[in-house]
Structure 1
Amino acid sequence: MLTIGQKFPEFKKTAVVSLEVGKEFETLSNEDLKGKWSVIFWWPKDFTFVCPTEITAFNDHYADFQKLDANLVGASTDSEFVHLAWRTHHVGLKKIQFPMLADTSKSLAEELGILEAEEKIAYRATFIIDPEGVTRWVSVNDLAIGRNVPEVLRVLEALKTGKLTPCDWEPGQATL
């Protein structure tokens, strides 16, 4: 599995960025992320039960990621057409403000080491990448367990301080 200190792999994938006809898709690559902190989170499958709770939670905190000047990208191994259908038909996903990356070939998930062996779906993995494209934080949950978006924000903010942060540090508290 890709870990801390390693360069995030190069990629070029289609992402769903809008529900507006004719503007649904864009190509997204690692080049688009350079120069800013980035959070890329993966979910196993569209049209499931835990996944939309996480996606909407990230969207609920989208402004917080923007305040930290960070890119936010969601991804799974489903196609852009499945992403679009899911966004169109799921009330909570209609207003998603970040790209939903389609890793249909599963090549990026495989390169990251997050492809589950039996079903060939991505684990619930979260990567924080610095402006130079280096992985600074990785968290992976079991397929059945949703993640904690405020914790992702806390870690991102701690990393951005460039300082030592003690156990249970919260933004606004003193660093070491």
Structure 2
Amino acid sequence: MSIIGSQLKPFTTQAFKEGKFLTVSDTDTLGKWSVFFFYPADFTFVCPTELEDLADNHDTFGKMGVEVYSVSTDTHFSHKAWHDSSPAIGKIRFTMLGDPSGAVTNNFGVMREGQGLADRATFVVDPQGVIQLMEITSEGVGRNAMELLRKIKAAQYIAAHPGEVCPAKWEEGEETLAPSLDLVGKI
């Protein structure tokens, strides 16, 4: 069942960010765009390649006013150990949420039944706490930060321009569409 358009559910959890432990809750995300980037587990294979890709694009996310939260069911202690031991994960400057209780993962509906691991899933939440985008891939399919950035730009554009929509492969600065009776059957 899709959760697009639903409100972010309450949560509070421990996190690791830039050498420090902190507490993060759903209220910390309000007022800015947020990415919740779920992955199965620390110290694995595809996950570090995805997280490194996000880390390499951290400044771009920041310029767009987007806060990134990676999430796995590992603890914040495990995130720190992985950050300290992996060159790829050592690049991360965004918040790594620990979710050993599974509360955050279950809030988004991406807990693997009977495994205690998150699906490989991405959610974009707007400043009002409403889920605007979601993507879930199979275990072996890694995600691409550039494509995520493109989708966020589109979501931000339509949020700022009611009545317009972004067509397939839309890039910032390209033409959008204004749905109307006149367009029916003309595209």
Report the TM range for the smaller structure's normalisation: over 0.9
Tell me, in whole angstroms, the C-alpha distance in 2 between the residues paired with 1:94 and 1:111: 28
Are 1:172 and 2:173 matched, yes or no? yes
The answer (yes or no) to whether the contact 2:121–2:134 under 8 Å persists in 1 is yes
Tell me, in whole angstroms, the C-alpha distance in 2 between the residues paired with 1:7 and 1:97: 26
Letter in 1 for 2:15: A
Aligned to 2:11: 11
The answer (yes or no) to whether the contact 1:38–1:130 under 8 Å persists in 2 is yes
The answer (yes or no) to whether the contact 2:56–2:91 under 8 Å persists in 1 is no
**Which one of 38, 55, 60 corresponds to residue 59 of structure 1?**
55
Aligned to 2:182: none
Letter in 2 for 1:33: T
Counting matched residue pairs gives 172
Higher relative contact order (CA 8 A, sep 6+): 1
Structure 1 stretches of 4+ with a deviation exceeding 3 A read none
Q: After TM superposition, give the deviation of residue 2 of structure 1 in Å.
A: 5.4
**Which one of 67, 71, 76 corresponds to residue 67 of structure 2?**
71
Q: After TM superposition, give the deviation of residue 153 of structure 1 in Å.
A: 0.6
RMSD (CA atoms): 1.1
* Structure 1 unmatched ranges of 5 or more: none
TM-score, structure 2 as length reference: 0.88
Are 1:92 and 2:109 matched, yes or no? no
Aligned to 2:36: 40
Q: After TM superposition, give the deviation of residue 118 of structure 1 in Å.
A: 3.5
TM-score, structure 1 as length reference: 0.94
Aligned pairs for 1:12-161 (under 5 A) are: 12-19=12-19, 24-161=20-157
* Structure 2 unmatched ranges of 5 or more: 159-163, 178-187
The answer (yes or no) to whether the contact 2:69–2:97 under 8 Å persists in 1 is yes
Q: After TM superposition, give the deviation of residue 174 of structure 1 in Å.
A: 1.6
User: Aligned to 2:133, what secondary structure does the other structure show?
Assistant: strand
Larger Rg: 2
The answer (yes or no) to whether the contact 2:16–2:95 under 8 Å persists in 1 is yes
